[in-house]
Structure 1
Amino acid sequence: MSALIPLYAQIDDAALEAMASKGIVRRARADAANVTFEALDADEIVGTIEGATVRLDAKGLAKARCTCPAATLCRHKLAVVFALRTQAGAPAAAAPVAEIDWPGRLATFDRKILLKAVGKTGLREALRLLALTEAMTIDAGQATLKVVLRLKAEEIEVAIPGQGDFGSVVSGLAERRRPAGHAAAILAARRHFGHDAIEIDDAEAASEQATLAPDPALLGIMQDVVCRAYAQGFAVPSRALEERLMLLAVSSRAEAMPRLSASLRRVAEGLEQRRARNVNHDPVELLRELAFAHALLFAVSQTKDDARLRKLAGTVRAEYEPIGDVELIGLGATMFETITGAAGVTGHFVEPATGRRLTATLARSTTHDTRFDPRDGYRNQAVWGQTLARLSSSTFRLTGAQASSTGRLSLSQTSRAETIQPFKPSRELVANWTQDASLAALAHASWPMLADHLSRCFAPTLDAPPPSAQPLVLLPSRIAPVAFDDLSQRLRWPLMDASGAWIALTLEHDDEGRGLGARRIAALEAALGDGGTKRPFAIVAIARPEAGKMVLEPIALWGDGQMALDFPERAPTPGKDVVSRLMAGLRRTVAQFAPPPPADLSVRQTARLLQGGLDALIGFAEAGLHASARDRLLAPLAKTYQLASLAPLAHLVSRTIASHDSDTSAAALATAQGLFTLQGFTSRLQVWT
């Protein structure tokens, strides 16, 4: 009898249900009688059922292969497992001779074993999942310990067998989520049976960073895998390549370089989305991440300066760090929705002593969580003992504050908001901010100076991660009516500074009159459309680069008080009829109020050229880097860039064309990084007179 048969025959129903579902398990049990075994060898078992061929080896059921198109654990694999029980002489999973000592079993999964299995990043994620768990169930069966973690947005069900290493633990989680999910279940079970808690030693992490010495051999392997991800991932994405990237990302040496580790994870996730044909997959973003990872690997391997090496690697530290007691001013709050379904509300604050912008966010990872309403959370959910509705329009002291490197504040209950006073902005106060050394980067009254500030703020650099969207307070001398721009299909709100220069704030809209854009349009029209309404003297806006341009979106109006566009006191309920009426009224000529922005043909042409280059590189990868694709896609591109006086880009493309097969991916990714970098430098706020 094959030694593999007992390995699979001992898998009980609880483990199978954790990997699939009760319905699939029931159907597979009924299908087991139809399984035919082609091989029962020592190193492989081959079974067929209904035209599908299943192959099992010593790697376990999670690594089993089936010829059916199912992306997850299919009923064919389960049917073969049930058939193997019969082969082993056990129609049902036999009870073990001795009762399993679960406390002793879980004691084998100590800190050293878990770190070896999932790395520090995986263990941190496991601790985060455990902290977010609202309820848990631990059910000890005859052969398997079933652990269910109930979070707000999901349930994680994991089965821990009575024997085997970390790899024997099973679940139905996506492959990239299994390490952290399985570790979280083990931590929960250890707690249930009274074992000591396992924690991350941040002092140890800091010590490791103090002796940062990148391994040239490991960097070479990473570069090779990233190049293969470009050469193969667009044409034939594979699960093996994703697994390789994830293993490299969680390796201890990679975790000493957090920016690189995070980039490799994002590449793996992008490849997984592409392989699964996810509607949210963006090939340009996948190319951007590949180009960044390749450039970062090259820079780390070539850098000898210790200070720059630490910048490239990033900082190993906890997500939040204590920043003491801070005085804060609320700038307003915004709602957000992402393409992946996340929804929430963010409060924006500034520390006047330093000018540092900080945020606090209430969110859920999916809109299917009907228990969470961002608007209700804004008005009613406690944050540091208060609500975001009150804090986002007040001045207060936050005691025991903790913040991440990106400026996100922890919502820990150990922090408290005290000495809260309503914030009453005035024109004189904001004007003084523009002259204050700490707040000059926040408040602006000169648009050319604002454009220069944003260009510096969002200038691309490999030495630091790109900044997030930045809140600004604008102090215009003249405000024109809101209008609809047919060219950009956005609402345009022109503002003039004291020198006669103009900029335009924009708002997205949709034809159906739904979503956040429609609500903001309705709120803005309600605030500005009434001729008797006093115009605001200042506008709070969010700045971010977007497709070669700098975009400013209004989020709050400051007049007699503060009004957040996402949470107005009065606004018509957005709907198709309401928004259609507003759009019809806004499709008017505003030249009598503000000169239209001139057509920036050079910037637009440059943006098209850069996007054309990115599309060509993606097409080249999708064609498997075939020689015909070089001639068809890259050769014309090199000539175009030369004629457009973009000689550095023309040189990069020409080098890709002339490269040998083994160097083509590296040359193409270097070209992509050049395109993305120039795209970042061309993102400038349009100012006109």
Structure 2
Amino acid sequence: MTARTVLRGLLPRFDDAAFEALANRGLLRRARKDLESLPIALADESDARVVVRVGDQHIQFDERGPAQACCDCPAPGVCQHILTATLWLQAQDLADAGASELPPGGGDPTAALRSQLLEMTSDDFIRYVGKSNYRWAWQYVQDLDLGTDVTLGGSLHLQIRLARPRVTFRYMGGGIDALMADLALPGIEKYRVAAVIAFQHLQGRFVAPLPAPRSATVADAANASRGSVLESVIALLGESVELGLSHLSVAVQSRFFGAAVNAQGAGLYRLARQLRRIADHVEQLIGHTASADEQVLFDEMTLAAGLATSTCGALRHGTATPALLGVARSRYEAAGEWEVWGLGALPWRSGSGFLGLTVLFWSPGDSAFVSCTLARPDTLGGFHPLLAYRAPGPWNGLASPAQATGRRLRLSGAHLNAAGRLSSSERTSAEVRTHADATWVQALAPVTDWSALTARYVAEGASLLDETDPLRDWVALAPHSAGPPHFDAHRQVVCWPLVDARSNVLVAEIPFSPLAGAAMDALERIGGAGLPPEGVVIARLRRTGSDVIAEPVSLIDPANLANPVNALYFSESATTPAPEQPLPPPANRSCTGAAARPAGISPLAACPGRTGIG
């Protein structure tokens, strides 16, 4: 088969998105102009190559297609001359009624492409990237959740989308070299192999791994060290329960801190984090702080025991995965150009003494929530989450997180980690746009049936050893109506009943805290004015025993295109603290007068003796 014949089968599969992935949108635009203004002709054609002359430049194609074409201009990679020549060849071939090799009528244009990818073997992969990169690619696929981290699509050509890093490969034919990525990645060859292996796994064809060429002595020593740490942790947990959680001492707390250090050194990162949580909670119990709870501590110790026991078994059978071992620190992968929608922000304070602001976004391309978090220790002056909402950042081109609320952002140079968190790196730039109409709200897939929502949420969180995924807890709610908010004096929370069309009630709650003043005032106003027509509540779900509650963060009014998202915690009427005013430490609160009321909370909302708001 000649190179021209292969090209006639490849080029009809290219659309604008494929051309942009091949180069970028700007080069494609300039290439279309060159197509109209420059002289273009076929300079040479043989069985092995096709040469096209574009102005003074010569572009050579072989059977691998445009992704591997060469131009004699000094520009590296795919230049606008290659794009111009590709567009010209595509037009020439499509003008010939018999040139296209796509199946006519209702045939599947991707069937032949699927067969090509399924025919690739481990020998092909090794020849392409070598044994070490093949091992890397195979292990990379094993660490993915193929149900959520890999997506297949495409109509004219195949698309294989990976979640980590966030990259889409397009395949029109021409071999593994012809897989085009929409993101420039170092070591792109091994990612191409990983994409094909993931595709084959999803199609039911599993590629065998190569044995790892490492010293058995080193591996056995590492596993023996981990085994020793795990056994000591299991023993420590048993001794603590036998002693009684009410009688734990500073010595026991020190042992848990030491066990966390040993687990970190042995590469048991997830267990180390869990042990640090236990040590912190033991410290709270010893100090009799309000947030200490023996039942919570017992749950944390149960989880640690299950994690340690499961890891022991996995190490014995050689099946320990990153989900069990954890990672030393989160890695941010390049995500390229990306559109996200701002949905408000949530200020918070952690039990370990950090202040933070989590800015929430919706990714329409992924149909998923993502976030960007700004956090500092509470001992560091000059940072307050309520002030950070209107402070510059987190990206170039964005005046503040407040400017992102209710708007579309086109991110360039974005970086994303496995948990769905965007980096606040200055290398990222944002272009702010407004929504053209109200239809964007429906793209959030708002939930209207509470019974189906709570059943799904409880089922998804059924596994004890599931990794925590905070963004999974966020949801868009479209209530049929809402009752008046009221203050629960016993639990120190504002409760807001949301009612669906079947009269099921989902309670939305905002805990009383120095950061919640604006949100409580906003619910007071909503209680008097009512929900806007077709209003949507963005909330975080949380389980309490067998019940599910929602913590609202923003309210969307689709009819208000100028400012569609009301960030509840940052109402314009809220009183923001001065930078020098630190937040008081978290504690149980009582209504003892104006001095006990945090800034921004109205007297009606702050008084536990009041049974309703507004």
Q: CA deviation at 1:552?
A: 0.5
Q: Tell me what 1:221 maps to.
A: 232
Q: CA deviation at 1:587?
A: 6.8
**Hey, what's the Cα distance between the residues in 2 that align with 1:342 and 1:292?**
24
**Hey, what's the Cα distance between the residues in 1 that align with 2:389 and 2:569?**
10
1:45-56 correspondence to structure 2 within 5 Å: none
The equivalent position to 1:568 in structure 2, one of 555, 567, 571, is: 571
The SS at the match of 1:515 is coil
Q: CA deviation at 1:527?
A: 4.2
Q: Tell me what 2:356 maps to.
A: 344
**Hey, what's the Cα distance between the residues in 2 that align with 1:261 and 1:340?**
16
Q: Tell me what 2:367 maps to.
A: 355
**Hey, what's the Cα distance between the residues in 2 that align with 1:431 and 1:236?**
54
Q: Tell me what 2:482 maps to.
A: 479
* Contact 2:229 2:266 (8 Å CA) reproduced: no
Q: Tell me what 2:405 maps to.
A: 392
**Hey, what's the Cα distance between the residues in 2 that align with 1:374 and 1:463?**
30
Q: Tell me what 1:635 maps to.
A: none
Matched, 1:380 2:380: no
**Hey, what's the Cα distance between the residues in 2 that align with 1:416 and 1:271?**
43
Matched, 1:291 2:302: yes
Q: CA deviation at 1:563?
A: 0.8
**Hey, what's the Cα distance between the residues in 2 that align with 1:536 and 1:568?**
21
Matched, 1:521 2:520: yes
The SS at the match of 1:413 is coil
**Hey, what's the Cα distance between the residues in 1 that align with 2:327 and 2:603?**
51
Give the aligned residue type for 2:382: R
**Hey, what's the Cα distance between the residues in 1 that align with 2:479 and 2:552?**
13
**Hey, what's the Cα distance between the residues in 2 that align with 1:481 and 1:247?**
50
Give the aligned residue type for 2:476: V
Matched, 1:332 2:344: yes
Q: CA deviation at 1:379?
A: 0.6
Q: Deviations over 1:442-480 (max 9, x none)?
A: x31222221122213332331434646722111223334
Give the aligned residue type for 1:265: R
* Contact 1:399 1:415 (8 Å CA) reproduced: yes
**Hey, what's the Cα distance between the residues in 1 that align with 2:317 and 2:271?**
18
**Hey, what's the Cα distance between the residues in 2 that align with 1:273 and 1:575?**
28
Q: CA deviation at 1:389?
A: 0.8
Q: Tell me what 1:491 maps to.
A: 494
**Hey, what's the Cα distance between the residues in 2 that align with 1:282 and 1:469?**
26
Q: Deviations over 1:76-102 (max 9, x none)?
A: xxxxxxxxxxxxxxxxxxxxxxxxxxx
Matched, 1:541 2:539: yes
**Hey, what's the Cα distance between the residues in 2 that align with 1:492 and 1:213?**
50
The SS at the match of 1:229 is helix
Give the aligned residue type for 1:415: T
TM-score, length basis structure 2: 0.52
Q: Tell me what 1:88 maps to.
A: none
Q: Deviations over 1:358-393 (max 9, x none)?
A: 221223321x54522322211123211221111233
Give the aligned residue type for 2:523: L
Q: Deviations over 1:169-223 (max 9, x none)?
A: xxxxxxxxxxxxxxxxxxxxxxxxxxxxxxxxxxx9xxx9999846434432232
The SS at the match of 2:465 is coil
Question: Against the structure 1 CA distance between its residues 319 and 233, is the aligned structure 2 distance closer, same or farther, given a 3 Å change threshold?
Answer: farther
**Hey, what's the Cα distance between the residues in 1 that align with 2:607 and 2:466?**
49
* Contact 1:248 1:254 (8 Å CA) reproduced: no
The SS at the match of 1:552 is strand
Question: Against the structure 1 CA distance between its residues 526 and 272, is the aligned structure 2 distance closer, same or farther, given a 3 Å change threshold?
Answer: closer
The equivalent position to 2:332 in structure 1, one of 307, 317, 320, is: 320
Between structures 1 and 2, the one with greater helix share: 1
Q: CA deviation at 1:429?
A: 3.5
Question: Against the structure 1 CA distance between its residues 322 and 305, is the aligned structure 2 distance closer, same or farther, given a 3 Å change threshold?
Answer: farther
Give the aligned residue type for 1:377: A
* Contact 1:425 1:558 (8 Å CA) reproduced: no
What stretches of structure 2 of length at least 5 have no aligned partner?
1-213, 576-598
**Hey, what's the Cα distance between the residues in 1 that align with 2:409 and 2:374?**
19
The equivalent position to 2:262 in structure 1, one of 251, 271, 288, is: 251
TM-score, length basis structure 1: 0.47
**Hey, what's the Cα distance between the residues in 1 that align with 2:242 and 2:395?**
50
Q: CA deviation at 1:565?
A: 0.8
What stretches of structure 1 of length at least 5 have no aligned partner?
1-203, 435-442, 589-689
Give the aligned residue type for 1:577: P
RMSD, aligned CA:
3.7
Q: CA deviation at 1:485?
A: 5.7
Q: CA deviation at 1:347?
A: 0.5
Matched residue count: 366
Greater RCO (Cα-Cα under 8 Å, separation 6 or more): 1
Give the aligned residue type for 1:219: L
**Hey, what's the Cα distance between the residues in 2 that align with 1:251 and 1:487?**
42
* Contact 2:337 2:412 (8 Å CA) reproduced: yes
The SS at the match of 2:356 is strand
Q: Tell me what 1:415 maps to.
A: 428
Q: Tell me what 2:48 maps to.
A: none
